Amino acid sequence: MKNNEVFVIEGGSRLTGKVNISGAKNAVLPVLASSLLFDKPFEITNIPRVIDIYTMLELLSVIGTQYEWIGKNSIKLYPDIKNQIAPYGIVEKMRASIYVLGPLLAKTGFAKVSFPGGCNFGPRPINFHLEGLKKFGAKIEIEHGFIVSRASRLHGAKIVFDQKTVGGTIHLLMTAALVEDETVLQNVALEPEVEQVAELLKSSGVEIENIGGEVLRVRGVKTLTPPSTIEIIPDRIEAGTFMVIALATHSDIRVENIKPNHTSSVLEKLEESGAGIEIGESYVRVYPKSEKISPLIIQTSPYPGFPTDMQPQFMALLSVADGMSIVRETIYPSRFHHAYELQRMGANIQVKDGEAIIRGVSSLEGTVVNASDLRAAASLVIAGLMARGKTIVRNIYHLDRGYEDFEYKLSKLGAKIKRKKEM
């Protein structure tokens, strides 16, 4: 991970053209982890080349799985388990590392996984994961910073999530795939990434009823047979980011290789804020209808509501809106580090108790800002593209965790952005 690179952005350019959206890293990560359930090789296509993917591949390699890249964005996986310990040095880099815990336990009866890391914007407890595994019959102990789980045999369970959790839903769904009794998961997350994992398991022999609904009935099998090829869905957050860039810079951008219905809540807010929207089968064109950006009231909520992962990008946009906007963060109430960096650029933002009040200013001013997490980094790049003068965004390794070829895609649209080593 490179800590000494920055983006240097000259703001004020209007962009135009087409941008091709990469595969969803939040779908790839659990699909990669699910390989531990299988005995046969299979291929995954439309994989983004981002840091989190390399981290998961490193973790799978330590466990025993081999892989080879086939072209730029496809991988052939050769699942194997030779080691049931996921070490801190890898797991600390990425929260999704927790996904290997259930599959290892279901497959071998033992797993030892370090507490996970990832973006730092507030507590994201893993109690849903651990309590769920206990209901399958696992014995869980915490030993020297490791989650140690054991089970001679897992049995079916009824698990009701207190609140919707994407990670918890995916993790326990994967675990249930090798549990031959019936498992019922209630109040599950509805995100497209959950559906991708469910469809993969179903095509591998697992009986799953009501995919896409809030209650899943799962009956696992003794042996899973994966399909020969799995195509990863497009990244709806990357798509949304470029849609916001279009309106923020008063540009005309066609965002391609996407599923428009996955971005409905984002499109609604963009249209409300003054964007023109043209929707095709696999693209969305966003363009300005006026010079003014209308203020919004946004409240994050689980899918199909407005995604927390789009909140920072919209905050950058709304910092120059014509009036007062309110952003309520109900998923991660402390996810506002980017607001303080936007203030350094001249934004008028007040943050209190999970809510941000944004009074639009006429323009932002370029300066040096620090990215604190993946989506905050995207927010600051958007601000830099809007701002007068030069903006330097530091700590862009955060952005590299989830966006493939970001500055290259922006440059093709006409943005003045360069990656440089920090002096």
| pLDDT tens track for 168-224 | 999 999 999 999 999 999 999 999 999 999 999 999 999 999 999 999 999 999 999
Q: What is the mean pLDDT of residues 45-72?
A: 97
Write down the catalytic residue from 119, 177, 296, 380. Answer: 119
Say whether pLDDT at 121 is over 60: no
Say whether pLDDT at 124 is over 90: no
pLDDT value for 1? 46
Q: List the 252-256 sheet strands across, edge first.
A: 16-20, 252-256, 283-288, 275-279
pLDDT value for 123? 47
pLDDT value for 130? 94
Task: Name the nearest CA neighbour of 125 among 94, 95, 88.
Answer: 95
Q: What is the mean pLDDT of residues 143-153?
A: 94
pTM comes to 0.96
Q: What is the mean pLDDT of residues 308-324?
A: 98
Q: What is the mean pLDDT of residues 19-35?
A: 98
CATH number listed for the domain at residues 5-21+234-421: 3.65.10.10
pLDDT band (50, 70, 90) for residue 116: confident
First-to-last alpha carbon distance for the chain, in angstroms, is 17
For residue 209, the number of C-alpha atoms closer than 13 Å in the C-beta half-sphere is: 9
CB 81: neighbour CB atoms within 10 A? Answer: 18
Write out pLDDT tens, residues 89-103. 999 888 889 999 999
Residue 190 token pair: 């509805």
**Given the DSSP bridges, would you call strands 348-352 and 229-231 parallel, antiparallel or unpaired?**
unpaired
Q: Is 355 marked active-site?
A: no
CATH of 25-222, one of 3.30.2320.30, 1.50.10.10, 3.90.1170.40, 3.65.10.10: 3.65.10.10
Q: What is the mean pLDDT of residues 125-129?
A: 84
Say whether pLDDT at 117 is over 90: no
Same CATH topology for 5-21+234-421 and 25-222: the answer is yes
Q: What is the mean pLDDT of residues 284-290?
A: 96
Say whether pLDDT at 164 is over 70: yes
pLDDT value for 2? 52
Domain ranges of the chain: 5-21+234-421, 25-222
> Which one-letter amino acid corresponds to residue 184?
V
Q: What is the mean pLDDT of residues 62-81?
A: 97
pLDDT value for 151? 97
Residue 417 token pair: 């952005």
pLDDT band (50, 70, 90) for residue 58: very high
Residue 294 token pair: 């209308």
